Amino acid sequence: MSIITELRKINPERRIILHQDNASSHTAQNTRQYLTEQNVELLDHPPYSPDLSPNDFFTFPKITNRLRGQRFQSPEEAVDASKNAVSDQPANEWNKCFENWFERVQMCINLRGEYVEKQ
């Protein structure tokens, strides 16, 4: 069962807006068609803006830090460890992630799309 189905069970009237980057799997016609059929609104992601992707500024660094130095016996073991690293993040960390995302989006708007995070 999908997260969309679960959200609809909780509150059928809830407006669902999805922000995802420009990865080919996210922009594929089948993906867009499915989301349209599910009445999910898409928030477009500016091209070449990894600074605005929560995966790039939050999720991947958390996984990388947690798994640094580990060796895995199989690809499945690595995938399981990655899933655990994500699911073990406390709710307050996810809240910080989205607060940070809102700040980054606002900065990008204020700078008319010229926002580039300094590394």
Residue-level pLDDT at 119: 38
Q: Residues 76-85: what's their mean pLDDT?
A: 91
Q: Do residues 57 and 35 make contact, with C-beta atoms less than 8 angstroms apart?
A: no
Per-domain residue ranges of the chain: 1-45, 47-119
Residue-level pLDDT at 81: 92
Q: What does the alpha-carbon distance between residue 54 and residue 105 come to, in Å, rounded to a whole number? A: 11
pLDDT digits (tens, 9 = 90+) for 99-112: 888 888 888 778 77
Q: Is the pTM of this model over 0.85?
A: no
Does the pLDDT of residue 85 top 60, yes or no?
Answer: yes
Q: What does the alpha-carbon distance between residue 22 and residue 46 come to, in Å, rounded to a whole number? A: 8
Q: Do residues 108 and 46 make contact, with C-beta atoms less than 8 angstroms apart?
A: yes
Q: What does the alpha-carbon distance between residue 55 and residue 103 come to, in Å, rounded to a whole number? A: 15
Beta strands in the chain (DSSP E): 16-19, 40-43
What's the DSSP call for residue 58?
Answer: I
How high is the mean pLDDT of the chain? Answer: 81
Does the pLDDT of residue 21 top 80, yes or no?
Answer: no
